[in-house]
């Protein structure tokens, strides 16, 4: 069934839609019904070659433009995305199953924010002059890296394409982007809109495919940088392949983030934090606070209020604006989540809400809450990537912090408390790249977003992202007769 803004081809290469039915067909499924809404083809090796070659060809001229001209293209694209937000959001909802009430505010709009923000930085991306004595000085030139590869996960297809392309392009790089095969459509619209806004052909290309297409992109010697959003195991593989070619990397990977709620916290705010940190996008958010540590005196009140508030989950047609909880994005991920729920029950956690697949077409599951979860249980150790919240009890601040940090992951962490000194102590102590005090999962483009430990390297968003898509050339300038030792 056609729907607004359906992309006109499988790939976007050298300024235009391209298709080659010789590539493996990839069905695009609407998760709310299981119905197939489109087919794209995986890129053949010839198309991967065309995409990289066109990026390599286009990059130098793009980098030679006056920076504000590059910025203008990005800002125009941001405006076009905002104008078309409704249709783009419907497309995103069809691609991912996320409710339109979410996609209207969190996907294309977040992508537009990134394009606007980095477009606005364009004129400021210079180097510096450093005096080194005797009249000599060093100046630095910020240069692009060259051809960058972006590889996306399936939870935020538009946002990921924009969060990677905006800083890459503003620095004068070209990009080849591979969306997840589960949600291949939105990145094509980003490419189309960037070109409509004036991006030269070849500067941003989208190719579809499974891991092997990603693998071919990552190992190509013409590629200077790889930015991946995906799971930790994929991150390890991609990082290793990039290392073989001495490429720059940004790795935005998975997490098992702690959300610590002290008994002096505002109960409703803390419950809101737990809901936002576990059930937004049906729990398919990398930074989710899935280990909810609740200080023992507040535990029963917290569970009572949480289960009461869960009655407000409207599970229905994602295109109906009243719906606030959609299906899982794929059947495979649904099965993984159901497997974790079974393990939670088998290992002795107390199921206090949900836990079941819904008896309807599509990939639906109830928002699920476990209480009495202990640190050693599988559901407290592994990333589930679905709507499963685990409540763990704690007594003291020191205990909460050390248990919060007892994980290989380090993406995000949050604390709810009325004691702001304690909140800042916790934020200082958390081993996490992105922390929240009395809030959760808010990631505006102005702030750096990223991880420590196994959850990744590098930062997206904020001025810091510029450093991950450019390199400084250092030029020593001698102003005196030059001498040597003999
Ligand atoms: P995967 O790790 O399975 O895949 C991520 C991307 O990498 C996909 O496009 C995938 O392609 C591609 N890929 C897989 N293998 C290779 C390879 N060997 N070489 C190159 N590319 C490869 O992640 P999911 O799509 O399942 O996304 C969920 C994960 O993403 C979760 O762990 C989540 O936490 C994380 N995530 C992290 C975020 C962050 O910012 N830190 C944000 C959002 C999600 P294909 O799928 O086509 O095989």
Contacts of 247 (CB under 8 A, 6+ apart): 218, 223, 224, 225, 226
Question: How many angstroms separate the alpha carbon of residue 389 from the centre of ligand 1?
Answer: 22
Retrieve residue 287's tokens.
Answer: 């930074």
Retrieve residue 102's tokens.
Answer: 């979410």
CA dihedral angle for residue 258, residue 264, residue 269, residue 274, rounded to 10 degrees: 20
Retrieve residue 448's tokens.
Answer: 């750096």
Per-residue model confidence (pLDDT) at position 211: 87
Retrieve residue 263's tokens.
Answer: 């008994």
Residue nearest ligand 1's atom 47 by CA: 210
Residue nearest ligand 1's atom 4 by CA: 230
DSSP β-ladder status, 248-252 and 456-457: antiparallel
Nearest alpha-carbon partner for 469 in 152, 142, 93: 142
Calculate ∠ Cα 345-232-334, nearest 5°. Answer: 40
Closest atom of ligand 1 relative to the 235 alpha carbon: 2
Per-residue model confidence (pLDDT) at position 119: 98
pLDDT averages per 10-residue partition of the chain, 486 residues: 73 97 97 97 98 98 98 98 97 97 98 98 97 98 98 98 98 98 98 98 98 96 98 98 98 98 98 98 98 98 98 98 98 98 98 98 98 98 98 98 98 98 98 98 98 98 98 98 97
What are the residues facing 149 on neighbouring strands? Answer: 176, 226
CA distance linking residue 51 with residue 49, whole number of Å: 5
Per-residue model confidence (pLDDT) at position 367: 98
Is the C-beta atom of 445 inside 6 A of ligand 1?
Answer: no
Per-residue model confidence (pLDDT) at position 6: 82
Is the C-beta atom of 270 inside 6 A of ligand 1?
Answer: no
Retrieve residue 191's tokens.
Answer: 């490419």
Question: How many angstroms separate the alpha carbon of residue 100 from the centre of ligand 1?
Answer: 23
Closest atom of ligand 1 relative to the 237 alpha carbon: 18
Catalytic residues: 164, 252, 286, 460
In 287-310, which positions are buried (b, 16+ CB within 10 angstroms) versus exposed (e)? bbbbbbbbbeebbeebbebbeeeb
Question: How many angstroms separate the alpha carbon of residue 179 from the centre of ligand 1?
Answer: 9
Residue nearest ligand 1's atom 35 by CA: 230
Contacts of 246 (CB under 8 A, 6+ apart): none
In 343-380, which positions are buried (b, 16+ CB within 10 angstroms) versus exposed (e)? ebeeeebeebbbbeeeeeebbbbbbbbbbebeeebebb
Question: How many angstroms separate the alpha carbon of residue 316 from the centre of ligand 1?
Answer: 27
Per-residue model confidence (pLDDT) at position 1: 44
Per-residue model confidence (pLDDT) at position 4: 54
Is the C-beta atom of 448 inside 6 A of ligand 1?
Answer: no
CB atoms within 10 A of CB 472: 11
For tokens 């080194």, name the residue. Answer: 132
CB atoms within 10 A of CB 476: 10
Retrieve residue 21's tokens.
Answer: 């039915």
Retrieve residue 332's tokens.
Answer: 């495979």
Is the C-beta atom of 471 inside 6 A of ligand 1?
Answer: no
Is the C-beta atom of 411 inside 6 A of ligand 1?
Answer: yes
Query: For a pocket test of ligand 1, which of 234, 241, 433 has the largest count of ligand atoms closer than 8 A to its C-beta?
Result: 234
How far is the CA of 137 from the CAs of 131, 134, 476, 481, 483, in angstroms?
A: 4, 9, 6, 14, 16
Closest atom of ligand 1 relative to the 233 alpha carbon: 2
Question: How many angstroms separate the alpha carbon of residue 251 from the centre of ligand 1?
Answer: 10
Query: Is the separation of the CB atoms in 336 and 386 below 8 Å?
Result: yes
């Amino acid at each position: 069934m056609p729907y607004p803004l359906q992309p006109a081809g499988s790939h976007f290469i050298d300024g235009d839609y391209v298709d080659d039915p010789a590539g493996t067909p990839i069905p695009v499924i609407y998760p709310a019904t299981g119905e197939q809404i489109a087919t794209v083809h995986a890129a053949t090796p010839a198309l991967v070659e065309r995409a990289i070659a066109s990026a390599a060809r286009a990059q130098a001229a793009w980098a030679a433009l006056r920076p504000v001209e590059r910025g203008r293209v990005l800002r125009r694209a941001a405006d076009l995305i905002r104008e078309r937000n409704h249709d783009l959001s419907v497309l995103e909802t069809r691609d991912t199953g996320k409710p339109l009430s979410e996609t209207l505010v969190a996907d294309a709009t977040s992508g537009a924010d990134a394009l606007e923000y980095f477009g606005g930085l364009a004129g400021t991306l210079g180097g510096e002059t450093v005096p080194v004595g005797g009249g000599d000085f060093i100046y630095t030139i910020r240069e692009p890296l060259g051809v960058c590869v972006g590889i996306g996960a399936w939870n935020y297809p538009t946002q990921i394409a924009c969060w990677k392309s905006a800083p890459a392009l503003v620095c004068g790089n070209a990009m080849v982007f591979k969306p997840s095969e589960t949600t291949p459509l939105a990145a094509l619209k980003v490419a189309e809109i960037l070109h409509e806004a004036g991006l030269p052909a070849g500067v941003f290309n989208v190719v579809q495919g499974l891991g092997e297409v990603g693998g071919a992109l990552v190992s190509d010697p013409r590629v200077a940088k790889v930015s991946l959003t995906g799971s930790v195991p994929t991150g390890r593989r991609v990082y290793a392949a990039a290392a073989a070619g001495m490429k720059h990397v940004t790795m935005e990977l998975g997490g098992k983030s702690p959300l610590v709620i002290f008994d002096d916290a505002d109960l409703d705010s803390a419950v809101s934090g737990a809901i936002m940190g576990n059930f937004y996008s049906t729990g398919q958010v990398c930074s989710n606070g899935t280990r909810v540590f609740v200080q023992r005196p507040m535990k029963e009140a917290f569970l009572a209020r949480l289960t009461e508030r869960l009655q407000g989950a409207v599970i229905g047609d994602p295109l109906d604006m009243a719906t606030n909880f959609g299906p899982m994005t794929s059947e495979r991920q649904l099965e993984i989540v159901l497997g974790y729920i079974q393990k939670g029950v088998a290992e002795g956690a107390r199921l206090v809400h949900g836990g079941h697949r819904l008896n309807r077409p599509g990939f639906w599951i109830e928002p699920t809450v476990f209480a009495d979860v202990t640190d050693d249980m599988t559901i407290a150790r592994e990333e589930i990537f679905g709507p499963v919240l685990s409540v763990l009890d704690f007594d003291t601040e020191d205990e909460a912090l050390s248990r919060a940090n007892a994980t290989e992951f380090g993406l995000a962490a949050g604390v709810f408390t009325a004691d702001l000194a304690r909140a800042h102590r916790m934020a200082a102590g958390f081993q996490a790249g992105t922390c929240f005090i009395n809030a959760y999962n808010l990631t505006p483009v102005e702030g750096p977003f990223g991880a420590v430990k196994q959850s990744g390297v590098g930062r997206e968003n904020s001025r810091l992202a510029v450093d991950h898509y450019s390199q400084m050339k250092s030029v020593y300038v001698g102003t005196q007769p030059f001498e040597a030792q003999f």
